[in-house]
Chains A and B, each alone.
Chain A
Amino acid sequence: MAFLSPVALAGLGAVAAPVAIHLLNKFRVKVVRWGAMQFLQESLKKNQRRLQIEDLILLILRCLIVALLAFAFARPVINPGGSGAAAAAGGPTMAVLLLDQSASMGQSDGVQTRMDLAKAAANKLLDKFGQGSQAALFLVTDRVNEVIARPTENLALVRRALDVSEPGGRTSDFLSAIRLALDTLRPFSGAQKEIVIFTDGQSAAWKQIDEIKPLLDANPDVRLRVEPVGGDHGEDNLAITALVPENMVPAAGQLFGCMVEVSNFGSVPVTGVRVTLSLNEDAPCDEAVIEKIDPGQKSAVRLNVRFAQAGYQTIRAAIPPDRLPVDNQRAFAVQVVDQMRAAIVEGTQAKTKQDRDGFFLANALVPVPQARRVEYYLKVDAVQPSWIDEADLSRQELIALCNVGTLSANQAKKLQKYVNEGGALFVFPGANTNPVDYNNGSLKDLLPATLGPLNDPGKKGELAAWESRGYPHPVTALWNDAKTGSLGTVRASKFYTLKPKTPDPKIADAPKPLTVVRYSDSSPAIVEWTLGKGRVVLFSSSATTQWNNLPIHPNFVPLIKRLLGYATRRDQQGSLTLQPGAVFQQTVNAELVGREFSVVRPDSKGKPRLSGKVELVNRDAVVRYRDTETTGPYRVFISGADRPVAAFAVQMDPQESNLAVMPAERLAALDNDKSKPAVAGAETRESKPSVGIRREFWGALLWVAALGALLEMLLAHKFSIAR
């Protein structure tokens, strides 16, 4: 005999309670001086023995009741060794069901999804459980959702939890789930302990399969089985694995480019893939057709949208639906600006426009004819360094220092504050540049690199060229594709050698300089870093054609636009694109505190759902939204408003689109006790002899205890009457 809940045996200590009460009563004696002793003596003489026997009977009965209750709660079983076949023949099982909730479980065979199959298999397993069996249910993605954290005998509850489970947008990791399941089963003894995994066997979820085996070896009393659902091989799948906005400023009335990457995870080539791009869940506004994608390959197309108005907007790319619909679309959100201001600080005052330090930069920033500049979103002013002292820098989205000499301490301080608060700063050196001041003076803490010696290959009739391929930085990554041209034809006759600063290892979030583009000799041509909330971009050469040909290079305008977009976007993309389940949080206008907000979700068919109130967090009005398991675009509206106050998108992990499965043999090898037949096997249940069946009899003990209690009451009543 063993016990399923041996901890309850500690309750046997309570047997001492009736004895203790008895003794306590003995010690709590009241003393009375009494005259009528003769009657007492007479009564005691007559009843002493009977009283002792009656008291003893009641004491024994009470102790017995307490002991029976303790035994019943400890859930004794007969023949505890009768696991396996015995359990299959009706013995209790203590199981933790791990249900794969990753996005790949949404794969359909046309009738049922893999999640449906997994739920059916889990229900079938529950049907086979013997009397007294218990089950817990964990939903597994890259985090474990303990829906039913501890095994329960209420299997109907487990079935209900199974019924409402739906695939999410995350990937899976079974190692941590198995660890947690083992911890859950550890306190139990006596019953057959099992971890049953219902999964499509996607390889991505079993990256750490080799670490699972040692875990099971350390817990030999727990059996782990994998119940694969779906096919035993991966199915074809076409997915949008990336939707990347180009590094441009999203501005009202302007075209905005996105790169859509489509991957073919199937085993056959796919042709004629139509890719569409839509704005704010409207009809597609741009589309392209990818002619062919070979198996295991991916292809990218560039699509554009034009924003009609400023504010938060969502962009969704889509391909025709297949059996895994969740990855046939991908979205992101942007905050579209209406107007931006930029100031170009020029170090010299030239007589002609063309000779000004910022002439080319100003034209690159506003690449439209003079007549249309009024309606263009970006307004550029050319100013002198003294302007920095007087101006309110916070009104500028971009400040560019072109050939600026030594700056005063006040000017440097204002620039530092401007960048820290989110401003973008471009720095072009020139003839007025004082490297000592840049490196050790007022701009020392602002720049991502120090200025080395001034290289002058032009003197020798030579020119330094930019590298032509292999741009790791997102701003220049566009030119990795030969179709978009090349930066390799940029030449410089004079430039400073840039030495990117080394991040301070003692400071965890110290800014790290990134090289945007290099010269062909690998020395950096442009270096940038994020400082506070803003960004600083340092060029090695001037913004004029005196030192290089960049200002007249065909890619100068796109490079400047991308740098502007990159520097002014800051971390917007990170905060507006979430993983499934992450909490969306956005600061809004302080006047909105306490107002209700609604969210138009990907699955709400365009209808807003009331979702909460704007909270006050650290003196900021904050919209906070947690229900983000579904992938797609979300738009947040304050009740009564037409335009969203915030927007964001939830993107699934692209590796979930790869439906390649772990070989069945490897999953089967995880079963650490194949000698024991599966509980789920009905045929096993019928064919095995019913030897060594484990039986719980706590119910019978409870009945006996109840009868004992009844008997005690009757006897106590009878004895009290007799006395």
Chain B
Amino acid sequence: MATENVNLLDPEAVTKGEALGLIARRIVEGYRVGEHRSPFHGFAIEFAQHREYSTGDDLRHLDWKVLGRTDRYFIKQYEQDTNYVAHLLIDGSESMDYGSGSLTKLHYAKVLGACLAHVILAQRDAVALNVFDTQIRERIARTDNPGKIHEIMQRLAAVEPGTETNLSRAVQDLAAAVKSRSIIIVISDLFGEEEGFQKGIERLRFQGSEVIVFHVLDPYEMEFPFTGTVKFVGLEGAPELQTTPASIRKSYLKSFNDFRERMIGICERADSHYVLANTAVPVGETLSQYLAFRRNYRTR
């Protein structure tokens, strides 16, 4: 079978929709072996909790059995009984075009997004795709039709790195567009204006949406292991810089780690999930680790 031969992180394969779909399916199937419950069943028609009846409550939700046994009035509360919508917000800016190896962060983000879309559609939930740089430039409206998966893959695979990042605008545009409570999945290196990003996340949370941030980073960005003299050609139009990286490594790492700390802080304050997506780690591993975390999180 042709799919057997597809390299899961082959940059060439990632740019072809069919191949991307196969990669995503393989990764997800690999994860779902022996699994029967989806970790995204957050809005299923399941009993949630009891609360005491108060004037004005709908008597249809009165728990008659509890009334019969205890002679007290309790209302049964349920989770939302409609399928959820997952909005994938994928960073397609030029800064995502960096990769210390042949695989760039954008490649990684595409595979991760494809996997997530595959998982969500497979459990009959809806997914919407948004690719942004300075603004959202690629959009697929929400769909819960599994038959649409091919289109999603094709569109995702065709994404090319754009120009500068404007994460805050993209998040805020999305917040404006999302009318109902949804799951917002941001896949980005988060290089951009931090304050706007924070406001966007907070707004989404305020609207009742759950936000998951996959922070895609290359190991060279996290370790800065360059030696000798290096001329850094800035992506997204930044000016060139020539320096001896060894002489500023410590300072760079401090700045970078501070930035990560701030991003983690923003997510925590907004009660959102921050997930580090190191491009040196296989996509399947990153995804399964997060999904496992999510299931445990829900069980608690």
Residues of A within 8 A of B (CB): 25-26, 28-44, 46-47, 51, 55, 719-723
Whether A33 contacts B248 in the complex (CB less than 8 A), given A25-B229, A39-B255, comes out as: no
**9 closest pairs, A vs B, by CB?**
A35-B95, A43-B251, A37-B238, A34-B232, A35-B98, A39-B255, A37-B234, A43-B248, A43-B252
A212 to B163, CA, bound (A): 91
Among candidates A30, A51, A719, residue contacting B230 with C-beta atoms closer than 8 Å: A30
Among candidates A28, A42, A55, A723, residue contacting B255 with C-beta atoms closer than 8 Å: A42
- A28, B235: Cβ atoms under 8 Å? no
A44 to B239, CA, bound (A): 13
A42 to B259, CA, bound (A): 12
- Which residues on the B side are within 8 Å of A41 (C-beta)? 238, 241
Whether A35 contacts B244 in the complex (CB less than 8 A), given A25-B229, A26-B229, comes out as: no
Among candidates A26, A36, A44, residue contacting B191 with C-beta atoms closer than 8 Å: A36
Nearest to B98 among chain A residues (CB) is A35
- Which residues on the B side are within 8 Å of A26 (C-beta)? 229
- B226, A30: Cβ atoms under 8 Å? yes
Among candidates B228, B238, B255, residue contacting A43 with C-beta atoms closer than 8 Å: B255
- B234, A30: Cβ atoms under 8 Å? no
- A33, B98: Cβ atoms under 8 Å? yes
In the assembled complex, the CB of B235 is this many whole angstroms from the nearest CB of chain A, namely 5
- Which residues on the B side are within 8 Å of A31 (C-beta)? 230-231, 233
Does B249 have its Cβ within 8 Å of any Cβ on chain A? yes
Inter-chain pairs besides A44-B248, A51-B247, 6 sampled, C-beta below 8 Å: A25-B228, A32-B231, A33-B233, A35-B236, A43-B255, A723-B250
Among candidates A29, A30, A36, A722, residue contacting B250 with C-beta atoms closer than 8 Å: A722
- Which residues on the B side are within 8 Å of A55 (C-beta)? 247
A29 to B95, CA, bound (A): 22
- A33, B251: Cβ atoms under 8 Å? no
Residues of B within 8 A of A (CB): 94-98, 105, 189, 191, 221, 226, 228-236, 238, 241-244, 246-252, 255-256, 259
- Which residues on the A side are within 8 Å of B97 (C-beta)? 33, 35
- A30, B231: Cβ atoms under 8 Å? yes
A720 to B246, CA, bound (A): 8
A43 to B230, CA, bound (A): 15
Nearest to A41 among chain B residues (CB) is B241
- A35, B248: Cβ atoms under 8 Å? no
Whether A34 contacts B98 in the complex (CB less than 8 A), given A40-B232, A42-B255, comes out as: yes
Among candidates B230, B238, B246, B251, residue contacting A32 with C-beta atoms closer than 8 Å: B230
- Which residues on the B side are within 8 Å of A42 (C-beta)? 251, 255
- A40, B248: Cβ atoms under 8 Å? yes
Nearest to A25 among chain B residues (CB) is B229
- B221, A36: Cβ atoms under 8 Å? yes
Whether A29 contacts B242 in the complex (CB less than 8 A), given A35-B97, A43-B252, A723-B249, comes out as: yes
Whether A723 contacts B232 in the complex (CB less than 8 A), given A36-B256, A42-B255, A43-B255, comes out as: no
- A35, B235: Cβ atoms under 8 Å? yes
Nearest to A31 among chain B residues (CB) is B231
Whether A28 contacts B232 in the complex (CB less than 8 A), given A35-B97, A40-B252, A723-B251, comes out as: no
- A35, B96: Cβ atoms under 8 Å? yes
- Which residues on the A side are within 8 Å of B228 (C-beta)? 25, 28-30
Among candidates B98, B229, B235, B259, residue contacting A29 with C-beta atoms closer than 8 Å: B229
- Which residues on the A side are within 8 Å of B105 (C-beta)? 35
- Which residues on the B side are within 8 Å of A38 (C-beta)? 191, 238
Whether A32 contacts B250 in the complex (CB less than 8 A), given A25-B244, A37-B238, comes out as: no
Pick 23 A–B contacts, CB within 8 A, sort by A. A25-B229, A29-B228, A29-B230, A30-B228, A32-B233, A33-B235, A34-B98, A34-B232, A35-B95, A35-B221, A36-B95, A37-B235, A37-B236, A38-B191, A40-B232, A44-B243, A44-B248, A47-B247, A47-B251, A51-B247, A55-B247, A721-B250, A722-B250
- Which residues on the A side are within 8 Å of B238 (C-beta)? 37-38, 41
A38 to B259, CA, bound (A): 10
In the assembled complex, the CB of B182 is this many whole angstroms from the nearest CB of chain A, namely 29
Whether A35 contacts B233 in the complex (CB less than 8 A), given A41-B241, A51-B248, comes out as: no
A722 to B251, CA, bound (A): 9
A34 to B189, CA, bound (A): 13
- Which residues on the A side are within 8 Å of B242 (C-beta)? 29
A44 to B256, CA, bound (A): 13
In the assembled complex, the CB of B171 is this many whole angstroms from the nearest CB of chain A, namely 19
Nearest to B165 among chain A residues (CB) is A35
A43 to B105, CA, bound (A): 23
- Which residues on the B side are within 8 Å of A43 (C-beta)? 248, 251-252, 255
- A37, B241: Cβ atoms under 8 Å? yes
A42 to B232, CA, bound (A): 14
A195 to B224, CA, bound (A): 67
Most A CB within 10 A of own CB, among B97, B105, B238: B238
- A28, B191: Cβ atoms under 8 Å? no
- A723, B226: Cβ atoms under 8 Å? no
A44 to B235, CA, bound (A): 17
Nearest to B250 among chain A residues (CB) is A723
- Which residues on the B side are within 8 Å of A46 (C-beta)? 251
- A723, B236: Cβ atoms under 8 Å? no
- Which residues on the A side are within 8 Å of B191 (C-beta)? 35-36, 38
Nearest to A27 among chain B residues (CB) is B229
A147 to B259, CA, bound (A): 76
A35 to B104, CA, bound (A): 11
A26 to B242, CA, bound (A): 9
- Which residues on the A side are within 8 Å of B236 (C-beta)? 35, 37
A44 to B251, CA, bound (A): 8
In the assembled complex, the CB of B193 is this many whole angstroms from the nearest CB of chain A, namely 11
Among candidates B226, B241, B249, residue contacting A44 with C-beta atoms closer than 8 Å: B241
In the assembled complex, the CB of A466 is this many whole angstroms from the nearest CB of chain B, namely 102
In the assembled complex, the CB of A32 is this many whole angstroms from the nearest CB of chain B, namely 5
- A35, B94: Cβ atoms under 8 Å? yes
- Which residues on the B side are within 8 Å of A34 (C-beta)? 98, 232-235
A656 to B120, CA, bound (A): 118
- B247, A723: Cβ atoms under 8 Å? yes
A28 to B232, CA, bound (A): 14
A25 to B242, CA, bound (A): 12
